[in-house]
C-alpha cells in the first residue's frame, strides 16, 4: 500500500487548487517524461525556480510511445487514481481548442468488455460515458465514451515550451543518484519511472513491455480497446496522419526491439474488427516499457538529512498521461504543506 503524506485530493470540479507562495531556492525535477514535465510545469507556474534533468529529449522518452488515450489503465491504488485522473481530464478538456499546438483532441470510441458498475466512483463524473449500443459494439458488453486523445510527441514538446515560458529549464543530464540532485537544490522531485528501481532503490519497480504498430490511417476515426488473454491486448487509436495499433502488456519484459511476429499478430487482431486495417501501409514499429510498481504509484514527501525535501512521483504503470496533472498538483500540495 502506498503511504500518502499531505491532504487527500478532491475532484477538480469541487475544490480549486490554491498554491502557497513558493519557497526560496531551486527545485530539481528528475525525469523528462510526461510525469516529470507536467510536475515541472505546475511547480514553475506556482513560482518555483525549476530545473528539469533528463538524459534524453522528451520526444525520446517512453511517454512519446504511449497511445495517448485518457483512461486509467494498469495503475494502482484504485482509491487514489480517480481523483488524479479527473484533475487531468479537466486540464485536457481545456486544451482541445488548440490541437495542433497541445496535441489534445476529443475522440469517440469503445472500451470492450467493460461495464460501468465495474469502475470506480470517478466514472460518474466522466461526461457521456455510457453503455455502448449494438451499432457501436455488437457484443454489447462495452462502454462508449468521447475522451481526450493526446498526440504524445506534440504534447511533450508543448509541455517543454510551457515549462520554459514559466522560467523553467530543461537540462540534458542523467542523475547518478538522487543525492546528486539533493546536493544542488533544496527540493527534489523524483519522476524517474523505471529508473526509480535503481535510484531510490525500489525493488517493486518492473517494466511492462508494450509493442505497437504505426500504419497509415485507412479512414478509422474512432478508437477501440480490449484486454485479451495473457499479455495481449487489442486497440487502435487514430492520431494525426496515422493510426496506432496495439498491443502487448508483457510484465517483466525489457526488450525495446520490435518483434515481427508480435507485430503481425497485432495487425491481424485489429483487422478482425476493422478489415480496412489489413491493407494499411506500415509506417513504423514502437516499443515502450510501462513503469509499473508493486503497491501502485508512490506519491509522498520525504525529508532528507541536510534539509532537502524529496517528493517521489513514480510508478504510474500504463496511465501516466491519464493522471499526470492530478499527480503534479498533489506534488505541489505536498511541497506547500
Binding residue numbers for FAD = 62-63, 192, 317-322
CA–CA gap between residue 125 and residue 11 (Å, rounded) = 9
CATH number, domain of 18, equals 3.40.50.720
pLDDT for 228 equals: 85
CA–CA gap between residue 119 and residue 86 (Å, rounded) = 14
3-state secondary structure of 135: coil
Residue 287, C-alpha cell as written in the block: 516499443
Residue 229 vs residues 236, 248, 261, 288, 289: alpha-carbon distances, Å: 17, 10, 17, 20, 19
Residue 175 vs residues 17, 52, 104, 153: alpha-carbon distances, Å: 31, 11, 31, 23
Instruction: Specify the pairing of strand 104-111 against strand 143-150.
Output: antiparallel
CA–CA gap between residue 202 and residue 186 (Å, rounded) = 23
pTM score, whole prediction: 0.92
What percent of the chain is modeled with pLDDT above 90?
A: 89
pLDDT for 18 equals: 38
Residue 242 lies in a domain: no
Residue 229 lies in a domain: no
pLDDT for 36 equals: 98
Whole-angstrom distance between the N-terminal and C-terminal Cα of the chain? 22
Task: Evaluate whether 201 touches 236 at the Cβ level (below 8 Å).
Answer: no
**Sheet with 309-314, edge to edge strand ranges:** 169-172, 49-54, 26-30, 187-190, 309-314, 298-303
Residue 188 lies in a domain: yes
Residue 145 vs residues 150, 178, 236: alpha-carbon distances, Å: 15, 41, 15
Residue 256 lies in a domain: no
Residue 225, C-alpha cell as written in the block: 480497446
Low-confidence ranges of the chain (pLDDT < 70): 1-24
pLDDT for 230 equals: 85
Residue 301 lies in a domain: yes
Read off the pLDDT of residues 186-195 as tens digits, 9 standing for 90 and up: 999 999 999 9
Residue 213 lies in a domain: no
pLDDT for 229 equals: 77
Task: Evaluate whether 64 touches 153 at the Cβ level (below 8 Å).
Answer: yes
Residue 261 lies in a domain: no
Binding residue numbers for D-dopa = 235, 290, 318
Q: 49: which strand partners?
A: 26
335 is in which domain, residue-wise? 1-107+149-204+294-337
Residue 235 lies in a domain: no
Instruction: Please give the backbone phi and psi of residue 41, each rounded to the nearest 5 degrees, phi first.
Output: -60, -50
| Domains identified in the chain, total number | 1
Q: 200: which strand partners?
A: none
- Cα torsion 122, 74, 96, 12 to 10°: value is 30
pLDDT for 152 equals: 98
Amino acid at each position: 500500500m502506498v503511504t500518502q503524506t499531505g491532504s487527500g485530493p478532491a475532484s477538480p470540479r469541487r475544490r480549486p487548487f490554491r498554491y502557497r507562495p513558493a519557497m526560496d531556492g531551486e527545485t530539481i525535477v528528475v525525469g523528462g517524461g510526461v510525469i516529470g514535465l507536467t510536475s515541472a510545469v505546475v511547480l514553475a507556474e506556482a513560482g518555483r525556480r525549476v530545473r528539469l534533468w533528463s538524459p534524453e529529449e522528451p520526444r525520446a522518452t517512453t511517454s512519446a510511445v504511449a497511445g495517448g488515450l485518457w483512461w486509467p489503465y494498469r495503475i494502482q491504488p484504485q482509491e487514489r487514481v480517480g481523483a488524479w485522473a479527473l484533475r487531468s481530464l479537466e486540464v485536457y478538456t481545456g486544451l482541445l481548442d488548440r490541437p495542433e499546438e497541445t496535441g489534445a483532441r476529443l475522440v469517440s470510441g469503445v472500451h470492450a468488455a467493460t461495464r460501468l458498475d465495474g469502475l470506480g466512483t470517478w466514472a460518474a463524473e466522466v461526461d457521456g460515458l455510457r453503455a455502448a449500443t449494438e451499432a457501436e459494439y455488437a457484443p454489447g458488453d462495452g462502454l462508449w465514451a468521447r475522451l481526450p486523445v493526446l498526440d504524445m510527441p506534440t504534447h511533450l514538446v508543448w509541455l517543454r515550451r510551457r515549462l520554459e515560458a514559466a522560467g523553467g529549464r530543461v537540462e540534458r543530464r542523467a542523475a547518478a543518484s538522487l543525492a546528486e540532485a539533493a546536493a544542488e537544490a533544496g527540493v527534489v522531485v523524483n519522476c524517474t519511472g523505471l529508473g526509480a528501481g535503481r535510484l531510490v532503490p525500489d525493488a517493486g519497480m518492473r517494466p511492462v513491455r508494450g509493442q505497437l504498430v504505426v500504419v497509415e490511417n485507412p479512414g478509422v476515426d474512432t478508437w477501440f480497446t480490449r484486454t485479451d488473454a495473457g499479455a495481449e491486448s487489442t486497440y487502435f487509436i487514430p492520431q494525426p496522419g496515422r493510426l496506432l495499433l496495439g498491443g502487448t502488456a508483457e510484465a517483466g519484459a525489457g526488450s525495446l526491439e520490435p518483434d515481427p511476429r508480435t507485430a503481425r499478430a497485432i495487425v491481424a487482431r485489429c483487422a478482425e474488427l476493422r478489415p480496412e486495417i489489413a491493407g494499411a501501409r506500415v509506417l513504423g514499429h514502437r516499443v515502450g516499457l510501462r513503469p509499473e510498481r508493486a503497491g501502485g504509484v508512490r506519491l509522498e514527501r520525504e525529508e532528507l538529512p541536510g534539509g532537502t525535501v524529496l517528493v517521489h512521483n513514480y510508478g504510474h504503470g500504463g496511465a501516466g498521461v491519464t493522471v499526470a496533472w492530478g499527480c503534479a498538483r498533489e506534488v505541489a500540495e505536498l511541497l506547500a504543506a
